[in-house]
Amino acid sequence: MRLKNRHVLGWLEASPLALVLLLFLVAPIVMIVIVSFWGATEFSIYPAFQFDNYEFLFGSPVTYRVFLATLKYAFITWALTLAIGFTVAYFLAFHVRSLTMQIALFLVCTIPFWTSNIIRMISWIPFLGRNGIANQTLISWGLIDEPLEWLLYSDFAVILAFVHLYTLFMVVPIFNTMMRIDKSLLEAARDNGASGLQTLVHVILPLTKPGIMIGTIFVVTLVMGDFITVRFMSGSQRANVGRLISNDIGLLQYPSAAATAVVLLCTVLIVIAILLRFVNIRKEL
């Protein structure tokens, strides 16, 4: 009887959160899926059950180019944020001994988040522009003779902005995982003659995999769903899936935008499923 009462009590405690998830997560996704099968004209949309939106989406070569570009941005951004995030987290966790200093340096990492993403992103434009600080500095140092055109409104600018915006999402979970590593394991590795690199590869890295996977999920999903960064930093010369959806919404083609969103959601879920094959996050944590 007590076990049954505990079971009922557990359901009652979880019901508010389940209701919130149902209303604000599941219901909107279901609505997007439903609308993706509707039809549209130049001036209106109408309820239907047809596959025209998906046929057009998968029949257009533009779709494949845009999805490949999105995956390219996600992969390059992931690699760079992982390298930077792991280095910063490693320094904070193992080289900064004082807890007060760790907290202070960690707060310094969060300073960019005190402003909006758009402001942080746009702040790169005067720095990278043809007459910006970067080009003028390089010219004054005699390293280049004329401004570098590829610094702004290019893939370089887009990826730079992505790394700037999302590196902290990699630092936090990795740092959190590293702080939970038993320091006696590192001492044991050193006592057994392991070098710093061997300790890093065979002790720290395996124990940090849950944090790396969580950070990877954050960064990949954020990059693949972003559209405003690509628009501003590429000068509207590049496209990703987010921009494809945004353009359809701007043209009031909601069923087409919904179909693209469903395909993007499935793509992200597949990527996450592949990542979770490497590490059982629930078990590790």
Model confidence pLDDT, tens digit, residues 211-241: 999 999 999 999 998 888 988 888 878 888 9
User: What would the pLDDT profile of 190-202 be if each residue is shown by its tens digit?
Assistant: 888 888 888 888 8
Assess contact for 245 and 264: CB atoms under 8 A: yes
- Between CA 275 and CA 253 the distance in angstroms is 33
- The encoded tokens of residue 259 equal 């179909």
pLDDT tens-place string over residues 15-50:
788 888 888 888 999 999 999 999 888 778 889 889
Q: Which domains does the chain have, with CATH numbers?
A: 65-283 (1.10.3720.10)
Report the C-alpha gap between 111 and 168 in whole angstroms.
10
Task: Please state, rounded to an integer, the average pLDDT across all residues of the chain.
Answer: 86
Question: CA 219 to CA 258: how far, in whole Å?
Answer: 23
* Rounded Cα distance, 183 and 112, in Å: 31
Q: What is the pTM of this model?
A: 0.87
String of DSSP letters for 179-197: HTS-HHHHHHHHHTT--HH
